[in-house]
Structure 1
Amino acid sequence: METAALKAKAAQIRMDLLRMIHGAKTGHTGGSLSNADILTALYYRVMNIDPQNPKWEKRDRFIASKGHSVESLWCILADLGFFPKEELTTFSQFGTRLIGHPNNKVAGIEMNTGALGHGLAISVGMALASKRDASGYRVFCLMGDGEQAEGSVWEAAMAGAHYKLDNLVGIIDRNRLQISGSTEDVMGLDPLEDKWASFGWNVVSIDGNDMESLVEALDAVPSIANKPTLIMANTVKGKGVSFAENVPHWHHHVPSDEQLEMALSELTALMESHIQEGQVR
């Protein structure tokens, strides 16, 4: 997809996840809205995947280490045909496969995740296997910024650089908010880019809600031989919904009927503007 189509698709995914959360009466709304652009760029532009053959050996792998923000991922996998879109209505209901964290009983999910700090270590193992088997696939790992307080993240970061895994891409959804408030108040992280660089990673800092920047950064990997890449995606929690942006309360919150209607109206207008942008180009 070209960037205008990706922007329109991201707006659609935001609408889908809001409807899903509203129907289920539960969900991590803020983080799913902030990472929607990242996942849209990955799944509709960057990653080599085949929804009709989800176990294709040479597929790129995606690990959602911040597994609690799974709602955007469920909506994308359904939209791509990994499972029927109608199944989204079962999200977080009794007996569903679509639980509140990634579940590898669903096609397109590589690992059960959500216990924060584990995803990058899993990704290091996958990337190392790809290198040793000469399989050629890449591994993308999405982490939260609050997750950077976990020591296991830094053990994995050290290993990724040690093994020269230039087929490994870590992405941090740097929205600066976690469930209990600002990341810098809970456990200060800055200068986060410098810390990752000191661990031997190629660090690229971008606006993680700007599709052009995402496409440029992700299309370039692997950009430096023998170095894993860390994309610092500076995002806005609740992105795309005016009353939810940068509001900690929306980390885990369900929109009311009126709020859903307002959010869908905003996102519909945004999607239509991006469709027109694509037509002009």
Structure 2
Amino acid sequence: MTIATGSDLAARADRVRAAAFRMRHHVLDMGEVQGQGYVGQALGVADVLAALYVDQLRFRADDPHWPERDRFLLSTGHYAIALYAALAEAGTIPVGELETYGADGSRLPMSGMASYTPGMEISGGSLGHGLTVAVGMALGTRLRGEQPRIVNFLSDGELDEGSTWEAAMGAAHHRLGRLLAVVDMNALQADGPTKGVLGTEPAEEKWAAAGWFTQRVDGNDVPALLRAFDAAARRSASVGEPAVILCDTRIGHGVPLLEAREKAHFMRIEEHEWQLCREQLTDNHPGEQAR
């Protein structure tokens, strides 16, 4: 179980950066098993997930169904590779199991499945459904007198979906103050740049108009992330405004070779490139190796 707010920001940020560095290596290791995948998104959101699992969420690694746990809902099921890295870092799944990623019979399918993976709260992948599930979960736990935080991770592409905005309005209407939405604003979706598929900016104003406490941060700036999560945690209450944090992330962050890829939504990476990716990641984070 981890949860920390308001303590020494620098020390907390160091812990999160070190975890994110290890998670990015986990992602590359898993990606190499398949030779392809949603590696760019996973590298981009590693700081966000590390901040949540190392610093914010209340859970028990050895008891994924602990009734008092905070719930993390991965609406973007194709980001499962990123969550597996976080769950391994958190101790919920063994690091050695990551090598089974995407294999027949594995507990780690390429798209997240709650029936297979410890710590996976919902089966995501039908984009636009995650926030509706989170709203129902927040209502249900409140009706039972429970006090978990419900954290829904979704993508900027999901802001195209009408169901997302129906859920957002419903959350504000029911004053689900323990609901937090975290949006990966990486500006890319399956059909191309997000702004070219369906313009959803100005996103902050739209969430605020729907009745949410809204923050927007650089999703690869760990201290900024921690300050935003702290601010949302301070406002968390059984009845109150739901909160959203819009995280501007960079596809392939930390690996220049992948940051520059033109086709980055689903990456195919050549066999000889995986070790180069690891070397670039290590070169770009020299201080993390000793942590």
State TM-score, norm by structure 1. 0.93
One-letter code aligned to 1:151: G
Residue in structure 1 matched with residue 80 of structure 2 by the alignment: 70
Deviation of 1:270 (Å): 3.7
Which has the higher relative contact order, 1 or 2, with Cα contacts under 8 A spaced 6 or more apart?
Answer: 1
Deviation of 1:217 (Å): 1.0
Residue in structure 1 matched with residue 272 of structure 2 by the alignment: 258
Residue in structure 1 matched with residue 6 of structure 2 by the alignment: none
| Unaligned stretches of 5+ residues in structure 1 | none
Pair 1:88-2:102 in alignment: no
Residue in structure 2 matched with residue 206 of structure 1 by the alignment: 217
Give the distance between the partners of 1:101 and 1:161, measured in 2 at CA.
30
Deviation of 1:223 (Å): 4.1
One-letter code aligned to 1:234: D
State TM-score, norm by structure 2. 0.90
Pair 1:107-2:96 in alignment: no
Q: SS of the counterpart of 1:172?
A: strand
Give the distance between the partners of 1:44 and 1:30, measured in 2 at CA.
21
One-letter code aligned to 1:202: F
Q: SS of the counterpart of 2:251?
A: coil
- Check the 8 A contact 1:22/1:254 in 2, yes or no: no
Aligned length: 277
1:249 pairs, out of 251, 258, 263, with 263
Pair 1:233-2:247 in alignment: yes
> Residue by residue, what CA displacement relative to the aligned partner does 1:1-26 show, whole Å, maximum 9, x if unpaired?
72112112111111111111111223
2:69 pairs, out of 50, 59, 62, with 59
Give the distance between the partners of 2:268 and 2:85, measured in 1 at CA.
17
Residue in structure 1 matched with residue 4 of structure 2 by the alignment: none
Pair 1:6-2:16 in alignment: yes
Residue in structure 2 matched with residue 268 of structure 1 by the alignment: 282
- Check the 8 A contact 1:130/1:136 in 2, yes or no: yes
- Check the 8 A contact 2:36/2:269 in 1, yes or no: no
Deviation of 1:246 (Å): 5.8
Distance 1:134-1:275 versus aligned 2 partners, 3 A rule: farther
Deviation of 1:258 (Å): 3.0
Give the distance between the partners of 1:81 and 1:128, measured in 2 at CA.
29
Instruction: State the superposition RMSD in angstroms.
Output: 1.7
| Unaligned stretches of 5+ residues in structure 2 | 1-10
- Check the 8 A contact 1:178/1:248 in 2, yes or no: no
> Residue by residue, what CA displacement relative to the aligned partner does 1:21-54 show, whole Å, maximum 9, x if unpaired?
1112232111111111111000111000101111
Distance 1:182-1:246 versus aligned 2 partners, 3 A rule: farther
Give the distance between the partners of 1:25 and 1:62, measured in 2 at CA.
28
- Check the 8 A contact 1:171/1:233 in 2, yes or no: yes
TM alignment of 1:139-154, pairs within 5 A: 139-154=150-165
Deviation of 1:140 (Å): 0.6
> Residue by residue, what CA displacement relative to the aligned partner does 1:166-188 show, whole Å, maximum 9, x if unpaired?
10000110011112211001111
